[in-house]
Chains A and B, each alone.
Chain A
Amino acid sequence: MSEIINVKNLVKKYDNNFTAVKNLSLKINQGEIIALLGPNGAGKTTLISTICGLSSITSGSIKVNGLDVIHDYRKTRDLIGLVPQELALEPFEKVINSINFSRRLFGKKDDNEYIEKLLSKLQLFDKKNNIIKSLSGGMKRRVMIAKALSHEPQILFLDEPTAGVDVELRKDMWNIIKELKNEGVTIILTTHYIEEAEMIADRIGIINHGELLLVEEKNELIRRMSVKILNIKLKKTLKRIPQKLKKYNLKIIDNGHSLNYFYNIGNEKTGITSLLSDMNEIGINLFDIQTQETSLEDIFVKIIKD
């Protein structure tokens, strides 16, 4: 995949001397979905704002499709659609007029066929002549997406697209995002919902205190950072870990009725076979065995805490 966004050593300092983004570098590939995770105030929205032209850059550079976002702002902005976090819409305007306005701002000729197709895809066609203030929150969110897509951008920034929306609508949004990806749109989304990133992202970036802590393929990240737990229920209670088993990462739980063995699936050997063999050798009988997996959420919390 070719690179479509290249952020290099970006620093964003506000007038009050607060540094929201600290020397951040990030490359985003064409056609991927990258999810930027981070707690409130981590710098996610600031990063998006600088790429889209809403915030000035203190130092560093941002290139979109090889073009500088300051010197070639017309060309770079033409490639980008932005859905901000807030539902910012002119309340007294009709849906269709609002969407056409967005398209015209990008210097594009009216294209009724494309806009009607877009409205249908976002299930807004029936609402096209409605006044925006009469729409539900979920519908307004769709209008925001339609406005961002009205000029046929190649890159779509979604700043917390499902914040405050119900589960059903969230799933609808995920389907829309996946469809856009299938059409070749590069999607950068920020989210608080780890489940969201886990469900739809190709890569995950974790930001905290203005620094990019990591960017990695989602599956690789989960594989590398995941710790699995083998829960072993015992026939007889165990008061302490026997000497022979001390080399294993074991923990007695459930008042000695169970043992938890922690292992990393990223390692070549899990150690399960030898553990069970050693347990058998010293006469510890098993009653049942279960495994549990750590989620992306556990990984996120661990990285943020570290």
Chain B
Amino acid sequence: MNFRGIHAIYRYEMNRSFRTLIQSLVSPVLSTILYFIVFGAAIGSRMDNISEVSYGAFIVPGLIMLTVQMQSVNNASFGIYFPKFIGTTYELLSAPLSFVEIVIGYVGAATTKAFSIGLIILSTSYLFVDLEIKYPFFMICFLFITCMTFSLLGFIIGIVSDNFEQLNIVPMLIITPLVFLGGSFYTIDMLPPFWQNFALLNPIVYLISGFRWSFFGVGDVPILTSVIFMLMFTSICISIIWYIFKTGYKIKN
């Protein structure tokens, strides 16, 4: 293993985030705080408890998921797309690095950034709502795996994209709607029966449900289903990346 090479990519990516700290950290945290103020404090105070949890506390896991999923995808996709755009991928390909090492460097950095943002948002939420985490260890693991899996997805998007428009299409037109409709702000049993069944087709439902379970011990679907779904999603992303690097698709000529 070329550990120094992996660390070089990881450090380079982290430094890039520090150079653009407002965009990387302040912006997502501020957006989430606004959600807390609007949905948690203003509207939430007039809403009934859901599964004996105040609405303000109920939306915390959903808001963390919403932010970390978007951040993971954006960070990882931009991280690999930018070198492609400016032509510096030649450095990675001509260095004694395996494809696995390159992925670990980029995905590791994107995961770290999103995971840190998730923890900052969680800490911030204590300023607005009373919150008790039932399974903290599971919550940390689930948050970490979510960040990693969505970073893998972002890496795939960054590799496949040929321009900035394509880079934004998947996060904006697919992931954002799925995350918003995935139960960040409600439980799916609040939907009419037809839409409840329809919502179960949304993979994000399983992830938000699993994460919410770690906070309150309740979710839209059984926790085992969420875990299986998460592992399946991770495996699919890894398989696609393995295929990309094996064939050199969009990377090697």
A and B are interacting partners: yes
Chain A residues packing against B (C-beta within 8 Å): 14, 46, 49, 52-56, 73-75, 77-78, 80, 82, 84, 86, 88-92, 97, 101-102, 104-109, 147
Given A82-B94, A101-B8, A105-B8, residue A89 in contact with residue B253 (CB < 8 A): no
**Further 5 A-B residue pairs, CB within 8 A, beyond A54-B93, A92-B19:** A55-B252, A89-B86, A104-B4, A104-B7, A104-B8
A77 is contacted by which of B15, B94, B252, B253 (Cβ under 8 Å)?
A: B94
B43 close to A (CB within 8 Å)? no
A88 is contacted by which of B7, B88, B253 (Cβ under 8 Å)?
A: B88
A169 to chain B, nearest CB (A): 21
Interface string of B218-253 (1 = CB under 8 A from A): 000000000000000000000000000000100011
A74, closest chain B residue (CB):
B96
Contacts of A107 in B (CB 8 A): 2-5, 96
Q: Tell me if B90 and A82 are in contact (CB < 8 A).
A: yes
Contacts of A78 in B (CB 8 A): 96
B12 close to A (CB within 8 Å)? yes
A82, closest chain B residue (CB):
B94
Q: Tell me if A14 and B88 are in contact (CB < 8 A).
A: no
B160 close to A (CB within 8 Å)? no
Q: Tell me if A90 and B86 are in contact (CB < 8 A).
A: yes
B9 close to A (CB within 8 Å)? yes
Interface residues of B toward A: which range? 20 to 34
Instruction: Please list 18 pairs of residues, one from A and one from B, whose beta carbons are closer than 8 Å in the complex, sorted by A's number.
Output: A14-B253, A52-B94, A53-B93, A54-B253, A56-B253, A74-B2, A75-B96, A77-B96, A82-B94, A88-B86, A88-B90, A101-B91, A102-B95, A105-B5, A105-B8, A106-B2, A106-B96, A107-B3
Cα distance A54–B87 in the bound complex, in angstroms? 12
Given A49-B253, A106-B5, residue A88 in contact with residue B87 (CB < 8 A): yes
B229 to chain A, nearest CB (A): 35
B92 close to A (CB within 8 Å)? yes
Cα distance A91–B87 in the bound complex, in angstroms? 11
Contacts of A77 in B (CB 8 A): 94-96
B97 close to A (CB within 8 Å)? yes
Interface string of B69-101 (1 = CB under 8 A from A): 000000000000001001110111111110000
Cα distance A102–B252 in the bound complex, in angstroms? 19
A86 is contacted by which of B15, B87, B92 (Cβ under 8 Å)?
A: B87
Cα distance A14–B87 in the bound complex, in angstroms? 20
Cα distance A46–B2 in the bound complex, in angstroms? 27
Contacts of B95 in A (CB 8 A): 77, 102, 105-106
Contacts of A106 in B (CB 8 A): 2, 5, 95-96
B86 is contacted by which of A14, A55, A82, A91 (Cβ under 8 Å)?
A: A91
Q: Tell me if A54 and B90 are in contact (CB < 8 A).
A: yes
Q: Tell me if A73 and B86 are in contact (CB < 8 A).
A: no
Cα distance A213–B15 in the bound complex, in angstroms? 48
Cα distance A113–B9 in the bound complex, in angstroms? 23
A59 to chain B, nearest CB (A): 15
Cα distance A91–B83 in the bound complex, in angstroms? 11
